[in-house]
Every structure is written in C-alpha cells, then in structure tokens.
Amino acid sequence: MAFRHAGVRSPMGPFLLSSLVVLAAVIALGTCGSGTPPAPGEADQTALVDADLTQLVVDFKDGTTKALFDALEVGWGIDLEFNSVEGVRSGITLARVEPSRLEALLRLVRADPNVEAAEPLFSYWASFTPNDPQFGRQWNLEMARMREAWDLTRGAGVIVAVIDTGIAYEDHGEFRLVPDLKGAKFAPGYDFVNDDEHANDDHGHGTHVAGTIAQRTHNGEGVAGVAFEATLMPLKVLDANGTGSSADIADAIRWAADHGAKVLNLSLGGGGRSEVLEAAVDYARKKGAVVVCAAGNGGRGVVEYPAAYPGAVAVSAVAPDGKLASYSSWGKEVDLAAPGGDIRRSGKQEDGILQNTIVREEPARSVYAYFQGTSMATPHVAGVAALLFGAGASGPDEVEKALFEGADRSKTGAWNDKYGHGILDAKGALEALGAPGAKRPFWKKLLTLLWALLLWAIARVTLPRSARRALRPGAGFFGALALTTLGLFFLPWLGVHSGFDSPLPHWGNALFGGAKANPIFYSAIIPILLCMVGFRRAGLRGLLAGLTVGFAAVLLAGALAGTSVAWMPLGALSRPWLVVNGLVSLLLARALMSQAGAR
C-alpha cells in the first residue's frame, strides 16, 4: 500500500510543630534521589526570566565611587564596570564571571558593607518575540497564538518524531544541514527507505515540516518554529518522490514510540485502510505518544489514513482568514484545524507556510519556501502537543483534551466535520491544561474562591461550639482569601499582563520563571513561615487564616487538575506533594480559627 505526503508545495504550638514535621517528611520524600534542581533551559526551563550565569550584577550603595569599587574588584578577582551612564548615581555595575565561581563569589560580594545587592544578570520580556528576520511573514504562528504560549513553555526535553521524507539535519555525503536548523536538537533516527541510520531528506517536504515543529528560533536567522526547544527525531519513510509503504510507516511509528518520542508527526496519507498501520498507531498511543496526522488534500469529505484511524489526531487546514483551505479534506474523523495556507485560492505565495528547506533536485541547496497543505497544518498541532508535554501533561489523553478544549471556536462554532473542535490555539491549550501562569477566565478563578469558602466552612464546623461563636471573620480574612485564590485579578483589565493576576502560589513562577509549579510556593512552606511570625498577634490571625485556607484550596485544586510540580524526581509525586501540603495548610487554618478569640 503506498502513501504520499499531504503537502502541496509552493507553522503555635504543638500543631505548628507537628505540621513542620509532616512538611519536612514530605520535602524529604519529594527530593530523595532528585539531585540538584534542573538548570534554566533544561527540562524545567525558565519561561519569563532567564538567568545568564556568566554575568554578575553588583549594586553598590548610592554614591559609591569608581575608585572604591575598583579597589574592591581586585580582591574579588573580577572586572566591574558601570552598567550605564546612570551607574554613577545608581551604583549598578556588571562583571563577567566563570559560572563555577558564581556561587562563592556571590557570598563574598554580598558580605561587603558597600554592596546593596548582588545577583546573576537576568533577562525579562513581556511576551516573547523572536528576532528571526522573517518571523513577520509567519501569519500562521500569530493565528496559533504562539508568542503568548512561548512565555510559558517551549517544549524542552520532548522528542517529536517526524515520520516523513527525512530531515536535512546533518552534513553527510551529498546532504547538508539547513542553516535554520543549526543548533536544533536531534535524537537518533532511521531511514526505513534505504535501511540505514542517516534519515536525510532528498525531497524537501520533511525538512519543511520539521521546521514548523522546531525550527531554531531567536537565532537571528530565517523563521521560527512552534516548539523550538523540543528534540526532533528524523524517520524517513517517503522516498525522493514523496511516496512510501504502509509497512515502512508502521515500523517507523513503532520505532518512534519505543525510542522515547512523545509526539509523532505524520504529514502523509493514503486512501487504503491498513490493519498493520492501524495497529501501529494504537501501539504508539498505548505507549504514551500523541499521533498527529494530516487529514489529506482531496478537498472532499473523506479523511485519509492514518488520520482516520482511532487514536490519531486528524488535522484539517485553514487559510489565513480562518476558513477551511480549498484543498483540505474533511469528515467526521477530523479533530482539529490548523494553519496550512491556501496559495491556490488567493494566488499569493505569502498565504502559504514559510520554512527553511531544501531544493528537491539539489538536496545540498537550502531555500526558504512557502508550502501549503494539511501537511503544513499537522506540525503546528504536533508542536503544540510538545509544548503541552513540556508544561507537564502526563499522556495523550491529557494532551488531546487540552488541545480540543483550548481550540478557538470563534469562527467555527461547535464541533463540526470541517474544523473538528476548532482552530488550534496554543495559549488556549495551555490554559485548558492548567499550566501554571496560563491566564484562566475570571469565572474559573471564582470557582477556586468558592472552593476555598467550602473548605473554610468544613474546617469551621469541626471546631468546638465555643470557638465557632468566637469566630467572626472580617475584612482581613476575606481579603487574604481573595488575594490568595484570585491574585491581582484586575491587572489585565488595566492593561497589565503578568503572572501576578494568578493565584498567589503561582507568583513563584512569575518571579522565577518555569513551566511547572514552583515547589516552594506550591507548598505549605509560606503559610507556615508566616504563621510562625504572626501567630501570637491576635489581630493577624484572621488574615493568616484566610491566606492558609486559600493556599489549601489552590494546592488541592491543583492536585485534582494534575498540576506538575518542578523538581519532583517522578511526575507521579506531584499529586501527593500537593495533597499533603494542601491538607497541612487546611489544618493550619483550622488551628488559627480555633484561636480566633484568644489573646
């Protein structure tokens, strides 16, 4: 059975002590065997704030002269310079240091009485915009809301198998790595057409598809990719004419699933149903992979295989105006629509999908070309699936649920056989997943507040009658409860977009970055420390009770939603961590409430 690519050429007391003991045990469980936390850019990559560990910022007291810090830098073994002309007044200086010296140097510098602060140099951005010169031509990435999604996750650590004509990923014989994939991550692949380990592209289709998934981004070259920190696995199943067999494709699907790929992209299709290929798709999904397939370019109501198999995510294509592309197949098996371009209808090349690829007749020659097709739509979905795995999704069920619930239905309405659940929306998918930092609708935040009030009521009815009579929660209690569960929810209404409009436990991510929940903020540590300071002050107990109930609500809701916590040695430990810390927070709130009337 022959298959072809689906692209058309041309995107307190005793209680407090016991709480601390319980928390210490939980921390020991959560960190046992985990080693050191991942460095920025690894699996738990920094999203909003990235530290450059080769530069040090030293903020001297205002008025510190250059002569003084010149003398100090000799003893520290660094070369300090004012950051800008303002440095004469602000005292802010910079120095380059060896990463291995940073920690010891920070301790030394911070101990000096002339220093107000010392820290690694950080970079900030409100909404990530790549510096790739042709990014402005990628209407498809704007349609999928990629810039907002990149503030949360970029797919680090996730392997995406490109089952296609191969990828121009290496210099080997007559083949060359295309410039805009230089620096991209590649997992070992295989050429099932020629039966060797060099899955090089001799057609151009697979390289174009791979670029949409993980083109090197923010490198000052060419264009951007959807999940540009993901790892590409090249698997060649289509020859130089763009055709291949069901046997090779089935073997490649199983090979990808057995070698760690979490997402499989199949921008190919055919009309015949193959039991062998269907079994392979089922095998990959049971192994925990999402299989994303092109619906086909027949322009009629018949979805091609393998997209039509159960377990595959079938993708139709839309034009820049959000309407179904003139060539796109459609039908009851379609799950989602994504940008695929429509040069045919508009006659404009720029209405296609732009990526770096090769010239079919000259595989060593690199070009930037506009293609159209459901082949081009499919890698957008595969890339967002990689982002969801990078943000903590546990498996294909969770990824697909987030993709479908987060889809944009503003132009498509309810599910239908042309657009499936709607048009791909990367930010919406992350919101549906519940990734920390994803902006949730205000009504969903109110549900967390109502859940907190229910927990407070449950804790209250378990108190002795005398304590209940003395308990009169005031503005402090309800204010702290609202702040903890809603965050500074009004900021977006003022045009301010930041992580601080999320529940208070997520502020750790807003401050320090990361795609997964910060384990310090998503724990009972902060409530316990605050109660240790303020428990003896009767006037603060109501406020502290509101804060601890709010923490309990957010943590327990996170456990129900499957929120992933950073630094957990096993993903399965995130839920126990949240449950135990949520219960500790609730018990702490009950202790505060029982002392409401005490002096």
Rounded Cα gap, residues 573 and 522, in angstroms: 13
The distance of Cα 358 from the centroid of its chain, to the nearest Å, equals 30
pLDDT of residue 283: 95
Lowest average pLDDT, out of 58-62, 143-147, 433-437, goes to 433-437
Q: Tell me: pLDDT of 19 over 60.
A: no
pLDDT of residue 229: 92
What distance separates the 2 farthest-apart alpha carbons in the chain? 87
The tens digit of pLDDT for each residue in 122-136 reads 644 334 678 889 988
What does the DSSP assignment read for 437-465? TPPPPHHHHHHHHHHHHHHHHHHHHTS-H
Q: How confident is the model at residue 388 (pLDDT cuts 50, 70, 90)?
A: very high
Q: Respond yes or no: is residue 5 known to be catalytic.
A: no
Lowest average pLDDT, out of 33-42, 139-148, 460-469, goes to 33-42
Lowest average pLDDT, out of 91-100, 115-124, 365-374, goes to 115-124
Q: Respond yes or no: is residue 375 known to be catalytic.
A: yes
Mean pLDDT of 534-548: 78
pLDDT of residue 24: 38
Residue ranges of the chain assigned to CATH 3.30.70.80: 49-124
Q: How confident is the model at residue 65 (pLDDT cuts 50, 70, 90)?
A: confident
- In the block, which residue shows the tokens 């890339």? 383
Q: Which of 132, 164, 202, 251 is catalytic?
A: 164
Q: How confident is the model at residue 535 (pLDDT cuts 50, 70, 90)?
A: low
The dihedral through the CA atoms of 141, 146, 150, 153 has a sign that is negative
Report the candidate in 419, 353, 374 with the shortest Cα–Cα distance to residue 212.
Answer: 353
Q: How confident is the model at residue 393 (pLDDT cuts 50, 70, 90)?
A: confident
> What is the SS3 string spanning 174-233?
CECCCHHHCCCEECCCEECCCCECCCCCCCCHHHHHHHHHHCCCCCCCCCCCCCCCCEEE
Bridge partners, residue 565, by sequence: 517
Q: Respond yes or no: is residue 498 known to be catalytic.
A: no
Q: How confident is the model at residue 8 (pLDDT cuts 50, 70, 90)?
A: low
Cα angle for residues 130, 134, 135 (degrees, 5° grid): 40
The 3-state DSSP class for residue 51 equals strand
| Helix or strand run (H / E) with residue 358 | strand 353-359
CATH superfamily label, 49-124: Peptidase S8 propeptide/proteinase inhibitor I9 (3.30.70.80)
Q: Tell me: pLDDT of 46 over 50.
A: no
Mean pLDDT of 463-471: 63
Q: Tell me: pLDDT of 183 over 80.
A: yes
Rounded Cα gap, residues 165 and 175, in angstroms: 13
pLDDT of residue 486: 83
Q: Tell me: pLDDT of 36 over 60.
A: no
pLDDT of residue 498: 57
Rounded Cα gap, residues 258 and 251, in angstroms: 10
- Determine contact, residues 294/375, Cβ cutoff 8 Å: yes
Q: Which of 205, 208, 380, 506 is catalytic?
A: 205
Residue ranges of the chain assigned to CATH 3.40.50.200: 129-241+261-281+291-433
**Architecture of the domain made up of 129-241+261-281+291-433:** 3-Layer(aba) Sandwich (3.40)
Q: Kind of pairing, strands 312-318 and 290-294? A: parallel
* Residue 306: cis peptide before it, omega within 30 degrees of 0: yes
How many helices (H) and strands (E) are present in the chain, helices listed first? 20, 17
The tens digit of pLDDT for each residue in 329-357 reads 999 999 999 999 999 888 999 999 999 99
Mean pLDDT of 526-539: 80
Q: Where are the alpha helices (DSSP H) in 259-333?
A: 275-286
Q: How many residues comprise the chain?
A: 599
Q: How confident is the model at residue 490 (pLDDT cuts 50, 70, 90)?
A: confident
The tens digit of pLDDT for each residue in 204-252 reads 999 999 999 999 998 889 999 999 999 999 999 999 999 999 899 999 9
- CA-derived radius of gyration, the chain: 27
The tens digit of pLDDT for each residue in 412-430 reads 888 899 999 999 999 999 9
Q: Kind of pairing, strands 362-371 and 353-359? A: antiparallel
